[in-house]
Amino acid sequence: MDQDDFTAFEHEGWEHVVQPYQDHFERLTKQSNAPLLDTLGVGEGTRFLDVATGPGFLAAAAASRRAAVTGVDFSAAMIAHARRQYPDIDFYEGGAEDLPFEDGVFDAVGISFGMLHFSHAEKALAEVFRVLRPGGKIAFTVWAVPEKAVGFQMILQAIEAHGKMDVPIPPGPPFFRFSDAEESSRALRDAGFSDPEVREVSQTWHIASPETPVGILMRGTVRMAAILNAQTPDALAKIQEAVAESAAAYRVGGELRMPMPCVLASATKR
């Protein structure tokens, strides 16, 4: 699999954060699985592909509906982990921009929080279009804009106030590109899809003490972890302090409960 600099950077990173990602993001990202699968009409016998499957959360949710499920991810470590967790599901190593499947073999394709990791999202959408049968559907989720996904907002604001976003990592796609409904619809139409629909799905980020938003991102992500790790010790301490102050408003008992909605976009291959 040929990789550009950003894809190689992401690939290397995701090979080493499998368990932290599951530990810290499974409960959050699973909240949009049912709405995504409902949008696609996934049920018994549906030939379903989970692109950028990661630990296999969405694939497992589809399998629980008795769909015929396949998962694919560019990270060998993620695929190995998914196979151990869900041995009855077919998982393959492969990139979203060059899917290792024949034309027209799936009824539905889901991408759970993967779009922001693709260097060339247009290629990924074109590949999904290729592997879908006529009448098949795509649905993907991405984080809502920071003004709504407050966990990201408080961290980004703290970095801007006390650190720097311009750090030495390969340039990647805009993190919130597909948070914009018009942009998601345009990209889907440009890939050949029809009747795009975009809506918001509520999610809540539960963070139990003594975990913190900054600590979770530093251990369980790649791009945000690299940005945070590139800060000076003094700047990082100020960022952590600012985030802790902002997060205090969302404390309920022994945990933080922060709004982290996502955008759910879907369309049909006519």
State pLDDT tens for residues 174-213: 999 999 999 999 999 999 999 999 999 999 999 998 999 9
DSSP line for the chain = ----HHHHHHHHHHTT-HHHHHHHHHHHHGGGHHHHHHHHT--TT-EEEEET-TTTHHHHHHHTTT-EEEEEES-HHHHHHHHHH-TTSEEEE--TTS-SS-TT-EEEEEEES-GGG-TTHHHHHHHHHHHEEEEEEEEEEEEPPTTTSHHHHHHHHHHHHHS-S--SS-----TTGGGSHHHHHHHHHHTT-EEEEEEEE--EEEEETT--HHHHHHHH-SHHHHHHHTS-HHHHHHHHHHHHHHHGGGEETTEEEEE--EEEEEEE--
- CATH level 3 topology of 5-268: Rossmann fold (3.40.50)
Any idea where the domains of the chain sit in the sequence?
5-268
Per-residue pLDDT reduced to its tens digit, 90-122: 999 999 999 999 999 999 999 999 999 999 999
Residue range 29-45, pLDDT digits in tens: 999 999 999 999 999 99
